Amino acid sequence: MGLFGNLQIGNMDANSQKKELDLNNPTEHHNLVIVGSGPAGYTAGIYAARANLNPVIYTGMEVGGQLTTTTEVENYPGYPEGIQGPAMMEDFKKQAERFGTDIRWGEVTQVDFGRRPFVLVIDDEKVVSANAVIIATGASAKYLGLESEQRLRGAGVSACATCDGFFYKDKVVAVVGGGDTAAEEAIYLAGLAKKVYMIVRKPYMRASKIMQKRVLNHPKIEVLFEHETLELIGENKVEAVKLVKRKGQPDEEIVEIPIDGFFLAIGHKPNSEVFKPWIETDENGFIKTQCKSTKTNIDGVFAAGDVQDPIYRQAVTAAGSGAMAAKDAERYLAELEEAQRENA
Stretch that binds ligand NDP, among 93-101, 124-132, 198-206, 234-242 (CB under 6 A): 198-206
By the 8 A CB rule, do 328 and 293 touch? Answer: yes
Query: Is 160 an annotated catalytic residue?
Result: yes
| 214 lies in the binding site for ligand NDP (CB under 6 A) | no
Query: Is 164 an annotated catalytic residue?
Result: yes
Burial of 147 (0-12, 13-18, 19+ CB in 10 A): exposed
Work out how close the CB of 85 gets to ligand NDP at its nearest, in angstroms, rounded to a whole number. 10
| 266 lies in the binding site for ligand NDP (CB under 6 A) | yes
What's the per-residue H, E or C state across 36-69?
A: CCCHHHHHHHHHHHHCCCCEEEECCCCCCHHHHH
Kindly name the residue from 124, 163, 282, 299 that is annotated as catalytic: 163
Write the interaction track for ligand NDP spanning residues 313-332; mark x where CB under 6 A is met and - where it is not.
Answer: x-------------------
Q: Can you name the residues that pair with 227 across neighbouring β-strands?
A: 245
Q: Which lies closer to ligand NDP via its Cβ, residue 100 or residue 179?
A: 179
By the 8 A CB rule, do 243 and 224 touch? Answer: yes
Write the interaction track for ligand NDP spanning residues 92-121; mark x where CB under 6 A is met and - where it is not.
Answer: ------------------------------
Q: Can you name the residues that pair with 220 across neighbouring β-strands?
A: none
**Cα–Cα distance for residue pair 224/209, rounded to 1 Å:** 17
| 178 lies in the binding site for ligand NDP (CB under 6 A) | yes
Kindly name the residue from 112, 164, 260, 309 that is annotated as catalytic: 164
In the window 138-177, what residues touch ligand NDP (CB under 6 A)? 144, 176-177
| 247 lies in the binding site for ligand NDP (CB under 6 A) | no
The residue type found at 147 is E
Q: Which lies closer to ligand NDP via its Cβ, residue 114 or residue 179?
A: 179
Burial of 143 (0-12, 13-18, 19+ CB in 10 A): middle
Work out how close the CB of 161 gets to ligand NDP at its nearest, in angstroms, rounded to a whole number. 11
**DSSP calls for 133-161:** EEE---EEE-----HHHHHTBTTTEES-H
Query: How many chain residues are in contact with ligand NDP, going by CB under 6 A?
Result: 17
**Cα–Cα distance for residue pair 41/133, rounded to 1 Å:** 11
| 246 lies in the binding site for ligand NDP (CB under 6 A) | no
| 179 lies in the binding site for ligand NDP (CB under 6 A) | yes
Name, in order, each residue with C-beta under 8 angstroms of 123's C-beta and a sequence gap of 6 or more.
106, 107, 109
Residues making contact with ligand NDP (CB under 6 A)? 75, 144, 176-182, 184, 201-202, 206, 266-268, 313
Residues noted as catalytic: 160, 163-164
